Amino acid sequence: MKQIPALVISSLFVLCAHASETPIEATAYPFIKPIAVEEAPIEVIVELDSDNDGVLDKNDKCPDTPRGQSVDEEGCVLLNDADNDGVPDKEDQCPNTAQGIKVNKKGCQLDSDGDGVPDARDKCPDTSKDFVVDGYGCPQTANLHIQFESGKYNVDDALIKQLETFALFLQKNKGYQVVIYGYTDSTGNSQANKILSQKRAEAVKEGLIRYRINETRLTSIGMGEKNPIADNTTPEGRAANRRIEVELIQ
């Protein structure tokens, strides 16, 4: 084995000792330099409430509320509402609305179908404006009471007033279609009575047309001696059966 000279060993020892005194970072990574670390500035955000009403300016829809006023969540002054219907007293045209009743912008009960009867009382809530309604919001009805002399079908002066009243009702209630039924008593031939009853129904129809009721709304049907409403064995009963009945169809 070849021996290493003592001078070489001594030189290596000196080099190693010198290397151990130098930081490894400086010798192994001489290109890296220390980085200075600074603290980032702290940004302070101040949210304003200019009118001091408890609602921040960014949410305040009434930014100039006078001091001391109670406000809602949007910063607007709470107004008096005695009946608690959501409409301020100064705007409430119906200030004593019962609790739980839905109201419009004026503080009055809703009338969804516009028939003049509030929803809370309206038993027919979707009534067309072509009808006059009763106190419950339902279309009014009417009847026509016309009787004829035996064997006759003309509407004489004594019956004109009833026909006029019924025509005025139809003029106000344009949504009704009308079926006019003519009847006779049981006297005579049933086929002849059928024809007579049709003539009675058509006479009433013509009378209504003269009062400006559109013909398309009217249908006439002769029923003959069917469906008596009284006893045909008495004069009074037969007179009652010689009649007109009407059916109102929405």
Most confident by average pLDDT, 17-31, 152-166, 206-220: 206-220
Percent of the chain topping pLDDT 70: 76
User: What would the pLDDT profile of 229-241 be if each residue is shown by its tens digit?
Assistant: 999 999 999 999 9
Q: DSSP per residue over 34-90, as a string? A: -----PPPPPPP----TT-SSS-GGG-SSTTPPTT--B-TTSPBPPP-TT-SSS-GG
Which residue segments constitute the domains of the chain, with CATH numbers given? 146-249 (3.30.1330.60)
Quick check: helix, strand or coil at residue 128? Answer: coil
Region of poorest pLDDT, from 54-68, 99-113, 177-191: 99-113
183, 227 in Cβ contact below 8 A?
yes
Give the strands of the sheet with 243-249, arranged side by side.
146-147, 243-249, 177-182, 218-222
Q: What is the pLDDT of residue 147?
A: 92
Dihedral of CA atoms 184, 223, 228, 162 in degrees, nearest 10, equals -70
Percent of the chain topping pLDDT 90: 39
Indicate whether 97 pLDDT > 60: yes
* Cα separations in angstroms, 24 against 10, 12, 20, 29, 77: 23, 19, 8, 8, 73
Indicate whether 12 pLDDT > 50: no
Indicate whether 24 pLDDT > 80: no
How sure is the predictor about 16, in pLDDT bands with cuts at 50, 70 and 90?
Answer: very low
User: What would the pLDDT profile of 134-191 be if each residue is shown by its tens digit?
Assistant: 888 999 888 888 999 999 999 888 788 889 999 999 999 999 999 999 999 999 999 9
Look up residue 3 and give its two tokens: 């021996």
Q: Residues 211-220: what's their mean pLDDT? A: 96
Look up residue 108 and give its two tokens: 């009055």
Q: Residues 117-124: what's their mean pLDDT? A: 85
Quick check: helix, strand or coil at residue 169? Answer: helix
pTM of the model: 0.60
Burial 61-74 (b: 16+ CB within 10 A, else e): eeeebeeeeebeee
Quick check: helix, strand or coil at residue 18? Answer: helix
Q: Residues 18-36: what's their mean pLDDT? A: 55
Name 155's bridge partners: none
Indicate whether 110 pLDDT > 80: no
